Amino acid sequence: MERIQTDQAPQALGPYSQAIRTGSFIFTSGQVPLTKEGVMVTGGIEEQTHQVMKNIQAVLAEANVDLSQIVKTTIFLMDMEDFQTVNQIYGEWFKDHRPARSCVQVSRLPKDARIEIETIAIVE
């Protein structure tokens, strides 16, 4: 098992790793819309979703992995009314790649974020 850590994404808010590689898999911790400096992005769900995807990309890049190697995502939303907007932005980042995905509404997220995404990627 290997811990993956980068300064190009926000640091963990608690006693956990940004990602862990075990065997052929990389499991990322949930990413919220914080900048790499740890500041919540301003704006609505659009800006927050893009920041989350940038964070995921940065964590995976530290392990020489890209978004095309993601096999599963889990999206946590504060408000399911944001689903269509998030879905559209998500599609811009993944293009023709279609990982398996779950999306659920939750009552609250860290730092009162509107979105959090965690991923599982495969290292081939």
pTM of the model: 0.96
Query: How many angstroms separate the CA atoms of 68 and 15, rounded?
Result: 28
What total of structural domains would you count in the chain? 1
Residue matched to tokens 């990413």? 31
Q: Could you tell me the CATH number of the domain that includes residue 65?
A: 3.30.1330.40
pLDDT digits (tens, 9 = 90+) for 23-79: 999 999 999 999 999 999 999 999 999 999 999 999 999 999 999 999 999 999 999
Structural domain of residue 64, as residue ranges? 2-122
